[in-house]
Structure 1
Amino acid sequence: MPSAPLFRFGVIADPQYADLAPNLTLNRYPAKSLGKLREAMEEFNRHDLAFVVTLGDIIDREWKSFDAILPVYEASRHRKHFLLGNHDFAVAPTHLGTVPARVGMSSAYYDFSLSGYRFIALDGNEISVFAPPEGDSRRQEAKDLMKALEIAGALNGQRWNGAIGDTQYDWLAAKLKEAKAAGEKVIVMNHYPIFPENGHNALNSDRLLALLAEHDHVVAYLNGHNHAGNFGVSDGTYFVNFKGMVDTEDTSAYAIVSVCEDRLEISGFGRETSRTLALR
C-alpha cells in the first residue's frame, strides 16, 4: 500500500497579472489572472497544505499591479512563499530595488526545512538586463553571458532570462552540503528552468545543472517561466516546469504536490499535468 504523504504544498507559476488587454499572439490574458488565482486559493484552502509557493512572475508589468494581486493571496489560510521572475521587474526604475520587499521577502533567495526536506529558493534574476539598477555591472555581465550563448549557438541567450551570481552560487553549494549532512532531501525552486535545453533556460543553466548533478539528495527542481511547461530527468533529479496560469482565456494551471517517503505526487489542476515521480 502506498505510503501517506509527509506533507503537501501548492504550486502556482506565472499568474502575471496586469490590467491589460489580452496578448492574443502569446494567448495570454493578464487581467483574468485575479479570478484564476482566487479559484486556486479556494481549492488550496480545501486541503491541508504546509505552504503555497508562487514560482515568479506575480505581475506582468507596472508597480500598481502588485496592489491588485497581492490581496488575493490574503485569502489563503496557508503559509505563502514567493519567488521573483523577470516580469516582476517590469516596473519603473525607482522601484527595482524594492521588489522583494513589496511581496514580503526579506531576501530574494532563501531556504527552509520541513519534515526531512530542504527547500532552496533561488533568485534567478540576480544577473540580468532587467533586475539590477541601471548602470549596475551585473547588466553588462548578463549581456556577456547572452553573447557567449549566442556564439555557442545556444537557444537561451535571451534578454528575458537571468542567472545567479557567484555569491549566491556559493550559498547554494553550501546549502546543498548542509542538507546532505543533516540527512535531508532537497527540492530546489527557481523561476528559470535549467533542463531540458530550452530558450527559457537560465543564462548559466549548465553551471547549475553540473552542481546539482554532484548531489544525489536533490530530488527535484521546480520552476515556471516557460509557460508551455516542460519535464525532464537528469542524473536522477526531476525537472518540473509548471505551466503558466496567465495563458488561455478560460483555463487555469496550478498544482498540489504530495511529498511521500517513496515518491512525489503532483496533482495538476486545469492545464497542469499530474505526475507520479518515484524517489530513488
Structure 2
Amino acid sequence: MSSADLPLFRFGIIADPQYAAIEPQVEMGRYYANSLAKVAAAIETFNGEELDFVMTLGDIIDRDFKSFDDILPVYEKLRHEALFLLGNHDFAVAPEDLEKVVERVGMPAPYYSFRRHRFRFIVLDGNEVSTFAPPESHPFRALAEQRLAALLAVGASNAQTWNASLSDEQFAWLAHEIEQAKAADEKVIVMNHFPVHPPCEHDMWDRERIVALLSSQDNVIAYLNGHNHVGNYGKVAGCHFVNFKGVVDTESENTFAIVDVYSDRLEIRGFGREESRTLSY
C-alpha cells in the first residue's frame, strides 16, 4: 500500500446533541434527553479508532446551564482530545451565565485556531453578533438588531433570531489566519456552528462575505458545520461546505462521522444517519 492510500490523520465530528433533561418534542423529532446515550455510543466508536481529536459543532445543550453538568462528563470517556465550538442553544442560559459558557466547556477562547499535520483548523464563533449570546447591554446586541432588521427588510430567508453573524473584527481575524496558513503552506478547514452554503434559512446573516472569502482562497478546502439538523452539502470554487446532521433528531438512531484526511481528499465516513462523502481537493 502506497503512502497515498493512507490517511495523514483522522478526526471525529458530532453535531447538535442539544441535550436537556426534558420531555421530547415528538412533533419536531427532538429527543433531548436521549443525546447522552447517543454521544456515549459515538465516543465508544471513536475510542476504537486512532483520532487526533473529536470536534462537537455546537448546540451541546438545548437549554439551562446545568445541562452541561450532565453531558460534559460523557466526553471524559473519550480517549482523544475533545474540542468544542458553540451554537445558539448553548446560550439558552440565564443572563448571568452567558459569559461563563466558553470557560465551562473548556474552550481557549470564543474563536481560535489550531494546527495538525500542515492543516490549520479555524474555529469560528458564529454567535458573536446575535440577539442571544452577548451580555444584555453589549453593543453587539444592538448591532445584531440592526443586521437582522436589514435582512428582514429585504425578505431574506435567513433573517431569523436563531441565526447570527461575525463581528468585523472576527472576520478580519479569519482572513488573517487564512493568509498566515498560506504563508506556512498549510491547508485550511474552517469549523462553525452555522451553515453559509448552500443558501437556507439557517445560514449566518453574513454568509455572503464568508463564502466569498473562503471560495477565493485556494488553500481553504472545507467548511464544516451543524445547526441545520437535516444536513446539507455544497461546493463553491475549491471549497466544500458540509452540514452535519443533528444528534438530537430521532429517538434512537445516531449520527456522527469520522473524517480521514488524505493528501488529496477528505473521506467522510458517516455513521447512523450521517452520509459518507469523498471531497477531493
Give the structure-1-normalised TM-score: 0.98
5+ residue gaps, structure 1, are: none
**Is the CA contact 1:3–1:261 (under 8 Å) kept in the aligned structure 2?**
no
Residue 102 of structure 1 corresponds to 104
SS at match of 1:141: helix
Pick aligned residue for 1:39 from 38, 41, 51? 41
**Is the CA contact 1:112–1:118 (under 8 Å) kept in the aligned structure 2?**
yes
SS at match of 2:69: helix
Aligned AA (2:123): A
| Superposed counterparts of 1:229-248, under 5 Å | 229-248=231-250
Please state how far the C-alpha of 1:209 moved relative to its aligned partner: 1.0
Please state how far the C-alpha of 1:267 moved relative to its aligned partner: 0.3
Residue 48 of structure 1 corresponds to 50
Please state how far the C-alpha of 1:214 moved relative to its aligned partner: 2.1
Residue 91 of structure 1 corresponds to 93
| Superposed counterparts of 1:183-262, under 5 Å | 183-262=185-264
Return the alpha-carbon distance in structure 2 between the equivalents of residues 123 and 223 of structure 1: 12
Residue 180 of structure 2 corresponds to 178
Deviations, residues 211-239 of structure 1 (Å, cap 9, x unaligned): 11220110000000000000000111000
Q: Tell me, yes or no, if structure 1 residue 3 matches structure 2 residue 8.
A: no
**Is the CA contact 1:156–1:202 (under 8 Å) kept in the aligned structure 2?**
yes
5+ residue gaps, structure 2, are: none
Return the alpha-carbon distance in structure 2 between the equivalents of residues 226 and 122 of structure 1: 17
Aligned AA (2:207): S
Please state how far the C-alpha of 1:152 moved relative to its aligned partner: 2.0
Return the alpha-carbon distance in structure 1 between the equivalents of residues 37 and 91 of structure 2: 23
Structure 1's consecutive aligned runs of 4 or more residues displaced over 2 angstroms after TM superposition are none
Please state how far the C-alpha of 1:153 moved relative to its aligned partner: 2.2
RMSD: 0.9
Please state how far the C-alpha of 1:60 moved relative to its aligned partner: 0.3
Deviations, residues 83-115 of structure 1 (Å, cap 9, x unaligned): 000000000000001100000112010001111
SS at match of 2:170: helix
Deviations, residues 221-269 of structure 1 (Å, cap 9, x unaligned): 0000000000000111000000000000011110000000111000000
Deviations, residues 175-200 of structure 1 (Å, cap 9, x unaligned): 00000001111000000000010000
Aligned AA (1:5): P
**Is the CA contact 1:3–1:262 (under 8 Å) kept in the aligned structure 2?**
no
Aligned AA (2:257): A
Residue 62 of structure 1 corresponds to 64
Aligned AA (1:95): D
Return the alpha-carbon distance in structure 1 between the equivalents of residues 110 and 177 of structure 2: 15
Return the alpha-carbon distance in structure 1 between the equivalents of residues 196 and 157 of structure 2: 12
User: Kindly, what percent of the aligned residue pairs are identical?
Assistant: 57
Return the alpha-carbon distance in structure 2 between the equivalents of residues 136 and 152 of structure 1: 26
**Is the CA contact 1:6–1:260 (under 8 Å) kept in the aligned structure 2?**
yes
Aligned AA (2:142): Q
**Is the CA contact 1:62–1:90 (under 8 Å) kept in the aligned structure 2?**
yes
Residue 18 of structure 1 corresponds to 20
Residue 71 of structure 1 corresponds to 73
Return the alpha-carbon distance in structure 2 between the equivalents of residues 108 and 197 of structure 1: 25
Please state how far the C-alpha of 1:8 moved relative to its aligned partner: 0.3
Residue 133 of structure 1 corresponds to 135
Return the alpha-carbon distance in structure 2 between the equivalents of residues 15 and 44 of structure 1: 16
